Structure 1
Amino acid sequence: MASNRRLPGVLRQFAEERDWQQFHTPKNLAMALAGEVGELLAELQWLTPEQAAAVMDEPEAGARVRAEIGDVMIYLTRLADVLGIDLEEAARAKLAEVAVRYPVEQAKGSAAKR
């Protein structure tokens, strides 16, 4: 399986082989991503917090959640690639920003938004 660093190239090639890059505009990819996130949410929507935490213990439900997370990853990765964004770099930069906004000594154990 491709590492997260190689996945953009694998997905780019997949789209090019099918001549799909013409459809992979930022708007279309963002809309597709939102749709897939909705499908993931639908799998968890009516579960209790305990059921949601254990969803992967249920073979059928776990397979559906895994598939939806795969779809989310594919569209997020394609969107980032089309926009020229390195996902890992973007996530690390965001984490550094959040660490400043939520220092451990002030945020530990609190879900309060700043």
Structure 2
Amino acid sequence: PELRVLGVFAPQRLPELPDVPTLGEQGYYDKWYGSARALVVPKGTPQEIVDFYVDAFRKTMEDPDCKAAHKKAGLALDFKDNRQLAALIAEQEIFCRDVVTQLYAK
């Protein structure tokens, strides 16, 4: 039997499946948080140290070899600096709290 992909959990269509719409396009789900990896430092870490790591990770993720290795492994790259990451975590916390509240409200 042939497998037919009906939709993808992603913010945009995947280059590997350009004809397959996202679930958001189909009206089901317009957010995709995926999985993340993050470097965190203790509260109170001097800003110059934070900036050093933000810059190092940005440069690494922009490196053509890094991009190629991720693409070959089928992994997406979506760099977020410390402020963008904090905003994403806050958004995810609200989303997850709402989902759990709705599930247990019944």
* Bigger fraction of residues in helix: 1
Q: TM-score, normalised by structure 1?
A: 0.28
Q: TM-score, normalised by structure 2?
A: 0.30
